[in-house]
């Protein structure tokens, strides 16, 4: 394998000249404008930027939840911006995990069942999904809460279940949008440590948007958004 080929394989997520614009009255507002970004295998990157600068938009584009107005989103070497909705959904299910500020767990299901759900959708057997979900809950130190529904869990426990669910299908990339934003500082620190350990243990690549500079400092790189572009800090 050539050096160029090795470099290409090592990049699991790339945004190339990505733009996202919205029309407000007679004006066009550019949220992202020619943004470039690359995430390497096994790398954790903190996205630190003020509210309203486009952090969530960037994550939605990277996670194939939105399409860019221009530019390209490339995941594991595959250009995704012009793919069919079905193909984009398939990539999202298999290659991308999401964690949001609010856990978005299904309230009628237990913690274990919430983590099993994406695996069952991917076609795993119930026994395989249960085993994987149990392992993840134990890793996140909440195995004893497996049969509890979200309303019976603390905020920190809910978010740890959400993190476990996000990585249940073994994605290449984890995208997290203020995953500890709703938690008190002590709980946020504990949840972030669990997230960081899980990412590094599993060899995931992660982009984590956060306002917490102490947590951001623990990651491999920090980037921000400036005038619609991704800039290294």
Please report, for residues 2, 115, 164, 201, the alpha-carbon distance to residue 60 in angstroms, rounded to integers and kept in the order given.
33, 22, 20, 25
147-170: pLDDT as tens digits = 999 999 998 899 889 999 999 998
What mean pLDDT comes out for the span 185-190? 83
At 186, the pLDDT band (50, 70, 90 cuts) reads confident
Q: Is the pLDDT of residue 62 over 60?
A: yes
The CA distance from 28 to 31, in Å, is: 10
Residue 6 lies in a domain: no
Does a structural domain hold residue 65? yes
pLDDT at residue 76 in the model:
92
213 or 80, higher pLDDT:
80
> Is residue 134 within 8 Å of residue 119, measured between CB atoms?
no
In a domain, 1, yes or no: no
Q: Is the pTM of this model over 0.85?
A: yes
Q: What is the CATH number of the domain that holds 73?
A: 3.40.50.300
Q: Please tell me the total count of domains within the chain.
A: 1
CB under 8 A, 24+ apart: contacts of 31-36: 31/57, 31/228, 32/57, 32/58, 32/61, 32/68, 32/225, 32/228, 32/229, 33/227, 33/228, 33/229, 34/71, 34/228, 34/229, 35/71, 35/225, 35/228, 35/229, 35/230, 36/229, 36/230
The packing angle between helices 126-139 and 155-166, to 10°, is: 130
pLDDT digits (tens, 9 = 90+) for 11-60: 999 999 999 998 888 888 899 999 999 999 989 999 998 888 889 999 99
**5 falls within a domain:** no
Per-residue pLDDT of 65-79, as tens digits, reads 999 999 999 999 999
The model's pLDDT over 66-123, given as tens digits with 9 standing for 90+, comes to 999 999 999 999 999 889 999 999 999 889 999 987 778 999 999 999 999 999 998 9
Give me the domain span that covers residue 141.
11-232
SS3 (DSSP) at 25: coil
Taking the C-alpha atoms of residue 183 and residue 128, their distance in angstroms, rounded to an integer, is 32
Residue 23: strand pairing partners? 28
The DSSP secondary-structure symbol of 151 reads: G
């Amino acid at each position: 394998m050539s050096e160029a080929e090795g470099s290409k394989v090592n990049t699991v997520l790339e945004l190339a000249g990505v733009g996202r614009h919205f029309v407000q009255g007679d004006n066009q507002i550019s949220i992202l404008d020619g943004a470039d970004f690359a995430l390497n295998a096994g790398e954790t990157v903190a996205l630190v930027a003020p509210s309203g600068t486009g952090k969530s938009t960037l994550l939605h584009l990277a996670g194939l939840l939105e399409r860019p107005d221009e530019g390209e989103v490339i995941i594991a070497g595959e250009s995704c911006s012009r793919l069919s909705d079905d193909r984009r959904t398939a990539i999202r299910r298999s290659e991308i995990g999401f964690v949001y500020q609010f856990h978005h767990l299904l309230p009628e299901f237990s913690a274990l069942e919430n983590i099993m759900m994406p695996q069952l959708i991917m076609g795993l057997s119930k026994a395989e999904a249960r085993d994987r979900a149990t392992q993840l809950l134990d890793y996140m130190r909440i195995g004893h809460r497996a049969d509890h529904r979200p309303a019976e869990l603390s905020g920190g426990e809910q978010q740890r279940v959400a993190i476990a669910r996000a990585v249940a299908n073994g994605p290449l990339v984890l995208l997290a949008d203020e995953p500890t934003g709703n938690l008190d500082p002590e709980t946020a620190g504990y949840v972030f440590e669990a997230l960081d350990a899980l990412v590094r243990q599993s060899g995931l690549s992660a982009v984590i948007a956060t306002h917490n500079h102490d947590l951001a400092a623990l990651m491999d790189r920090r980037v921000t958004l400036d005038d619609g572009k991704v800039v290294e800090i």
